[in-house]
Amino acid sequence: MDDVITRRRKGGATQTPVAYLNCNFAAPVGEKPALFTHDEVITLFHETGHGLHHLLTQIEELGVSGINGVEWDAVELPSQFMENFCWEWDVLKHMTHHVDTGAALPKELFDKMLAAKNFQSGLGTLRQIEFSSFDMRLHDDFDPNGGRSAMDLLNEIRKETAVMFPPAYNRFPNNFSHIFAGGYGAGYYSYKWAEVLSADAYALFEENGVLSPEVGHRFWSEILAQGGARPALESFKAFRGREPTIDALLRHNGMA
């Protein structure tokens, strides 16, 4: 997803925002329609979340309108939030059909997909904590001219977090491109923190009905409409009525 035009005041008029999704999905084959994998549907919903964040803003100052000015560790909140609907049976059963018979996705298959989603999610969480901690420590208290290497630092962190250890010849820091060439330096934790926010936000929908118009309007007015006009944590608290907690994320990952 990227933006083309941002909402703002121009003269006496409001400029209408425009965004686009550049998708790389499988094309149709022969006479068959294009078929999306579940992962592709998740990607579509994820990027649509970014699009909604940009299109539904009510802010008219260019620098904080839409996706502009949103803190790095919260800009993924709307996108990861939208992914949850792809794991909701009451949503998925209405948007899946067998290409030949037209039959909806069987509930038994959905349950297997859900079980596979949460397989080893604890290890996946520890992996993200390891990477995030390494990134933070590397940018905070690591001395490149000191007596230890980046690899030594990573091994220290692994002793605190890892369950399984890679072989000694592994040199993960040498190709951790996210923090050296991908713009995530000192900010890799944002992946997991945005998951906390998005899962906790979605939990309010779970409590009131996942397609609740009232909660949906509140999500728009307090988060999507606000863009970067106020700190993201303030927007979250205005929507949720409290500070974020990790409870919903643990539950969604099958760990609580």
212-239 pLDDT tens trace: 999 999 999 999 999 999 999 999 999 9
The confidence band for 175, taking pLDDT boundaries of 50, 70 and 90, is: very high
**Beta pairing, strands 13-15 & 18-20:** unpaired
SS3 (DSSP) at 210: coil
Burial class (CB in 10 A: 0-12, 13-18, 19+), 11: exposed
The pLDDT tens digits for 48-95 are 999 999 999 999 999 999 999 999 999 999 999 999 999 999 999 999
Q: Phi and psi at residue 233, in whole multiples of 5°?
A: -65, -35
| Catalytic residue positions, numbered | 47
Which domain, by its residues, includes 48?
A: 2-117
In a domain, 15, yes or no: yes
In a domain, 67, yes or no: yes
Number of domains in the chain: 1
Which residues neighbour 61 within 8 Å (Cβ) at sequence distance 6 or greater? Answer: 8, 229
Mean pLDDT of the chain: 95
CATH number at residue 67: 3.40.390.10
Interatomic CA distance for residues 183 and 59, integer angstroms? 26
In a domain, 108, yes or no: yes
Residue 88 near residue 95, CB atoms below 8 Å: no
pLDDT for residue 109: 96
